[in-house]
Chain A
Amino acid sequence: DQQVKQNSPSLSVQEGRISILNCDYTNSMFDYFLWYKKYPAEGPTFLISISSIKDKNEDGRFTVFLNKSAKHLSLHIVPSQPGDSAVYFCAASSQGGGADGLTFGKGTHLIIQP
């Protein structure tokens, strides 16, 4: 039973436009959410996070939105650049949860087209 779902395996966006990656979760105990970026044959790198007390967090070109009632979060990248082409993983955790381990989605492969 997937607790974190990324329903789009891939997304193609033109360079300069906005990329929107979506993530849904089912566990209402999750209270901290993160996005990671992963290139092939490398480990994921942290991108941006948001705690459940906020509904928006912004860092440069990256903004994460959290809608707790819908159990939905999204990552916006504006403007999209060729170097943004990678797999993006949504992850969630709950304070006090076992190991503070992160639960990951399956990832969305973002392709930025010139």
Chain B
Amino acid sequence: EADIYQTPRYLVIGTGKKITLECSQTMGHDKMYWYQQDPGMELHLIHYSYGVNSTEKGDLSSESTVSRIRTEHFPLTLESARPSHTSQYLCASSSGWGYGYTFGSGTRLTVV
């Protein structure tokens, strides 16, 4: 039973389109994260949030943006998708240090 939900699971979209990847959690966690992973590579942190109205960029530079208007919701938006954005995007939440993360199932994005 998933407590963190990502939609869509798979998305194929044309270059230049605007897309929003959804992430919601029901655990009341303050901290939420977006990671990007290419096949065979490590997960790279691209955005994180400490709570409502808090958003920060992660270690890996990304052209995406995020918002945190509600505790449970942390959507990621690409204003103009490009083939270089093709990747798997993983959302996670945490109650803090020492508790690890709960990950969503991920969104596999393909930009053609």
Chain A interface (Cβ < 8 Å from any Cβ of B): 2, 4, 9, 32, 34, 36, 41-46, 49, 51, 89, 93, 95-96, 98-102, 104-107
Chain B interface (Cβ < 8 Å from any Cβ of A): 6, 9, 31, 33, 35, 40-43, 45, 48, 50, 56, 58-59, 90-92, 94, 96-98, 100-106, 108
Question: Which residues from B are CB-within-8-Å of A89?
Answer: 42-43
Q: A-B pairs with CB below 8 Å: how many?
A: 67
Picked from A34, A42, A101, the residue with its CB within 8 Å of the CB of B33 is A101
Minimum distance in angstroms from A40 CB to a CB of chain B: 9
Question: Which residues from B are CB-within-8-Å of A98?
Answer: 56
20 other A-B residue contacts (CB within 8 Å) besides A44-B90, A95-B98, A99-B50? A2-B42, A41-B105, A41-B108, A42-B105, A43-B92, A43-B105, A44-B43, A45-B103, A46-B100, A49-B100, A95-B97, A99-B45, A100-B94, A101-B45, A101-B58, A102-B45, A104-B35, A104-B43, A105-B42, A106-B40
